[in-house]
Amino acid sequence: MSKQSRNPTFIQTPAAVRRVRHIVTGLILGGGLIAATAIVLAVPEPEPEAEPIAVESTPAPRPEWANKFEAPAAPEAAAPEAAPEPVAPEAPAIELAIAHQDETTDFADLAQRQLDTGDVKDALTSMRKHIFAREATVEELFLIGNLARQTHEGDLAKAALQAAVKLQPERSDLQTELGRVFLEGKALAEAEAAAEEAVRLDRENPAAWNLSGRIGMAKSEWQLAEAALLHALELDPTNAMYHNNAGLLYIYMKRGDDAVESLETAVELFEDQAEHFVFNNLGLAHELAGNYEEAREAFEEALLMNPYYSRAKVNLRRVETTMAQIEAKNAFQTASVPAAEEVQEAPGALEVGDDT
């Protein structure tokens, strides 16, 4: 096949002309390559940098025609923008309700039956299911918050009680329960604010005063704590827990006899329902008052109720050690001093002076 048939745009050119073109093209390409090679070969080796020499440069004179125009003011350098402070991520919102598809179970009734058998954690779960897909009432939120506090789910308790307070901010009991949650979470400022609001809303609320006393104890403000706890006892003198708290305060204040009186009253009011920690506190009060035998009995009672109560174990060992040391000291003193009869019978032990 001819070139013309392969390429319809082919224009036949004499062979001599074509050869000249090839030669010229080759020269151009060859020359460029040689030039490039020469340029590369001509580049000198870089020399080590020397210290720059400061040379005063004289600015070129400004032409007269340029004086007719004002030089534009140099733009002010923009101040560098400060790096934005890192923003702490917000804590995820607590979901109070638990989703489910059970439409037959009465979860509120189930929660009550679970509470009757002491299943606080299961009762909390049932109440959270009870409020799913419906508006929770203040009482339901209060119960959820209380159960969550008992099961040490502080964030859940706080969320439920804050929702309840938002619905009825005028209720002192809601503020009191919220303050308890803050106190147990060691958020003393928030706890104090809640307690003050609870007292402001109802000065006859003994639980609010008891909360104020506990906060005072946590802050080592003993006088304020005592005033608040005594006021709580004036409003509710048969509350065993308030007497326990007063006794613990007196232990902190090193008032052993007052502590014993308060804690013995607490045990009497609790009757058979006293918790193990109440007997532990009573043991500390007796120890502070120097009643070591009574202290040992109280610590033993606490351990009888809860064999795993480590504080009572430590306290019992300490009291038993103290009693052993006292017994050893008394025995040493008895052995060192002869009895009166022995002194009288020992010849020359006594010298009687003459009357003359």
| Per-residue confidence (pLDDT) for residue 2, from 0 to 100 | 45
| Per-residue confidence (pLDDT) for residue 61, from 0 to 100 | 56
pLDDT surpassing 60 at residue 23: no
| Per-residue confidence (pLDDT) for residue 129, from 0 to 100 | 98
Angle between the 240-252 and 222-235 helix axes, to the nearest 10 degrees? 160
| Per-residue confidence (pLDDT) for residue 333, from 0 to 100 | 75
| Per-residue confidence (pLDDT) for residue 302, from 0 to 100 | 97
C-alpha 178 chain-centroid distance: 17
Amino acid making up residue 252:
Y
| Per-residue confidence (pLDDT) for residue 300, from 0 to 100 | 98
Mean per-residue pLDDT, 254-283: 96
pLDDT over 70 for what percent of the chain? 68
Q: Which range among 22-26, 135-139, 209-213 shows the weakest confidence by mean pLDDT? A: 22-26
Task: Tell me if domain 169-237 and domain 264-333 are identical in fold.
Answer: yes
DSSP structural state of residue 96: -
Reduce the secondary structure of the chain to three states and give it as a string. CCHHHHCCCCCCCCHHHHHHHHHHHHHHHHHHHHHHHHHHHHCCCCCCCCCCCCCCCCCCCCCHHHHHCCCCCCCCCCCCCCCCCCCCCCCCCCCCCCCCCCCCCCHHHHHHHHHHCCCHHHHHHHHHHHCCCCCCCHHHHHHHHHHHHHCCCHHHHHHHHHHHHHHCCCCHHHHHHHHHHHHHCCCHHHHHHHHHHHHHHCCCCHHHHHHHHHHHHHCCCHHHHHHHHHHHHHHCCCCHHHHHHHHHHHHHCCCHHHHHHHHHHHHHHHHHHCCHHHHHHHHHHHHHCCCHHHHHHHHHHHHHHCCCCHHHHHHHHHHHHHHHHHHHHHHHHHHHCCCHHHHHHCCCCCCCCCCC
Q: Does CATH place domain 94-168 in 1.25.40.10?
A: yes
| Per-residue confidence (pLDDT) for residue 305, from 0 to 100 | 96
| Per-residue confidence (pLDDT) for residue 83, from 0 to 100 | 52
| Per-residue confidence (pLDDT) for residue 38, from 0 to 100 | 38
| Per-residue confidence (pLDDT) for residue 65, from 0 to 100 | 44
pLDDT surpassing 50 at residue 34: no
| Per-residue confidence (pLDDT) for residue 93, from 0 to 100 | 76
pLDDT surpassing 70 at residue 69: no
pLDDT surpassing 50 at residue 324: yes
Using one digit for the tens of pLDDT, what is the confidence trace for 290-312? Answer: 999 999 999 999 999 999 999 99
pLDDT surpassing 80 at residue 77: no
Mean per-residue pLDDT, 61-83: 48
Mean per-residue pLDDT, 32-52: 40
pLDDT interval class at 261 (50, 70, 90): very high
| Per-residue confidence (pLDDT) for residue 53, from 0 to 100 | 39
Q: Return the CATH number of the domain spanning residue range 264-333.
A: 1.25.40
Mean pLDDT for the chain overall: 80
pLDDT surpassing 80 at residue 124: yes
Q: Does CATH place domain 169-237 in 1.25.40.10?
A: yes
pLDDT surpassing 80 at residue 224: yes
pLDDT over 90 for what percent of the chain? 65
Longest dimension (CA), the chain: 174
pLDDT surpassing 50 at residue 351: no
Mean per-residue pLDDT, 219-231: 98
| Per-residue confidence (pLDDT) for residue 81, from 0 to 100 | 54
| Per-residue confidence (pLDDT) for residue 64, from 0 to 100 | 54
pLDDT interval class at 330 (50, 70, 90): confident
Mean per-residue pLDDT, 234-251: 98
pLDDT surpassing 60 at residue 151: yes
Mean per-residue pLDDT, 323-351: 62
Domain range summary for the chain, segments of one domain joined by +: 94-168, 169-237, 264-333
pLDDT surpassing 70 at residue 223: yes
Mean per-residue pLDDT, 18-33: 47
